[in-house]
Amino acid sequence: MANIPDHAKIVHNGILFDVFAFEQPLFDGTTKTFEMVRRNPAVEIIAVVDGKIITLFQKQPGRETGYYSLPGGQIDPGETPIVAAKRELREETGYEASELTELFHFNGTSKLEFHEHIFKTTNLTKKTEQSLDGGEIIEVQYSTFDEFLQLARDPKAAIAYELKMTMYEALLDDRVYHEFKSKIFSS
Amino acid sequence: MANIPDHAKIVHNGILFDVFAFEQPLFDGTTKTFEMVRRNPAVEIIAVVDGKIITLFQKQPGRETGYYSLPGGQIDPGETPIVAAKRELREETGYEASELTELFHFNGTSKLEFHEHIFKTTNLTKKTEQSLDGGEIIEVQYSTFDEFLQLARDPKAAIAYELKMTMYEALLDDRVYHEFKSKIFSS
């Protein structure tokens, strides 16, 4: 939804967020300074093992309570989304993915440009142990498709907002349910 | 969900966004610089007239297509949320609200502190015409409760994310439906 205009000027170059400002023409012919934020892009992976979806229960520094998520994280500078997805999956779960398919590419809300790439894979081999940063605590769990959809309803589940909406739609609409399920589990 | 720690330092003081940085202790005893964004707080109003909810269809500069929303907008510096809600309702719809009740107070996502105050009112008198900025185009519409709930399903509808989740829950769960409906329509 949000893409920062090419002519915008960067006013803050940060670690996780960059801020941009630009003159936006209004409908009455005047202009106004608008501000938008770009957040570093991220990936999430819907990874299927033995007919179940890998979900995580995480405890992270700075967050008071544990929360559910999919494997995923920030794309590092220079990484492609697919390389980041393979790396995050390996670090957080120990699984190595030989093939990944991009299911969705979201790009944020009206004032926030945030590219989130959602991949799926059914080709996993367990090769390594988790390798976590700074004492992260991540528990790997295995959910049925129906259990996975219920995660959308947990306000604390850290799942891309638009992906949650697709999960809600699958709960409301039988056609979406079957299409989404078949996209995830087809090899 | 997100409240920026008191000891965080402001690294960008902007128009719509402020950026903060702070040293976050990790679980292994080391620290890491974390960055969070604060967006100016906003209000949205669920306003009932003759048994229907006021919804808006807006065209705004910088957004390619029209979109649905509730009346609402940014809280101006020095304003309380309730004063901002009354002002936005008056500017965008011409209705004057004599009494407003706060239904929800959301506070953003894990890296974004964004306070959104959701009010409801059933006490409206039409007093003035719309007074819009810079040639904004805002069409006032009247929706049944069921039509309003369907707006949650429109990815382009600009409604607070957590409010959309409550609307989805009302579509899925009869108990939530009736509780939410009664909260909105009770005077």
Whose CA is closest to B41, among B3, B86, B81? Answer: B81
pLDDT for res A156: 82
pLDDT digits (tens, 9 = 90+) for A32-54: 999 999 999 999 999 999 999 99
CA A19, CA A32: separation in Å to the nearest integer? 16
Alpha carbons A46 and A138: distance in angstroms, whole number: 16
Which residues make Cβ contacts (< 8 Å) with residue B96, sequence separation at least 6? B86, B89, B90, B124, B125, B126, B127, B128
Going from the C-alpha of B133 to that of each of A26, A33, A49, B27, the distances in angstroms are 9, 14, 54, 49
* Chain B nearest C-alpha distance from A43 (Å): 16
Output the pLDDT for position A1: 55
pLDDT > 90? residue B37? yes
| Per-chain mean pLDDT for chain A | 93
B137 touches chain A (CB under 8 A): yes
CA dist list (Å): A157 to A12, A57, A58, B178: 30, 9, 10, 25
Q: Do B110 and A158 touch (CB under 8 A)?
A: yes
Nearest-neighbour CA in chain A from B123: distance (Å): 31
Residue B75 to residue B42: CA distance in whole angstroms = 5
Q: How confident is the model at residue B155 (pLDDT cuts 50, 70, 90)?
A: confident
CA dist list (Å): A183 to A1, A105, A178, A187: 23, 15, 9, 9
Cβ-contact A101, A77 below 8 angstroms? no
Global ipTM: 0.89
User: Residue B81's pLDDT is what?
Assistant: 98
Taking alpha carbons only, the member of A104, A103, A90, A121 closest to residue A187 is A121
pLDDT in tens, B58-100: 988 877 789 999 999 999 999 999 999 999 999 999 999 999 9
Considering the entire predicted model, what is its pTM? 0.91
Mean pLDDT for the stretch of residues A143-164: 95
Q: Are A23 and A31 in contact (CB under 8 A)?
A: yes
**Percent of chain A beyond pLDDT 70?**
98
How far is A91 from A33, CA to CA, in rounded Å?
Answer: 42
pLDDT per residue as tens digits for the range A108-120 = 988 999 999 999 9
CA angle, residues B135, B106, A148, in degrees to nearest 5: 110
pLDDT tens for residues B113-144?
999 999 999 999 987 888 887 778 899 999 99
**Best B4, B16, B105, B138 residue to mutate vs chain A (most A CBs within 10 Å):** B16
pLDDT at residue number A107: 93
More confident residue, B165 or A128: B165
> Which of A39-43, A70-74, A124-128, B1-5 shows the lowest mean pLDDT across its residues?
B1-5
Residues of B in contact with A36 (CB under 8 A): 16
Beta strands in chain A (DSSP E): 9-13, 17-25, 31-49, 52-59, 67-69, 72-74, 95-109, 112-126, 137-143
CB contact under 8 A, A15 and B26: no
Cβ proximity of B117 and B81 under 8 Å: yes
Residue B28 has a pLDDT of 86
Number of H helices, E strands in chain B: 4, 9
Our CA-based measurement puts residue B54 at a distance from the nearest CA of chain A, in whole angstroms, of 22
**CA Rg value for chain A:** 18
CB distance B38 to B21 below 8 Å: no
Segment B38-50 shows an average pLDDT of: 97
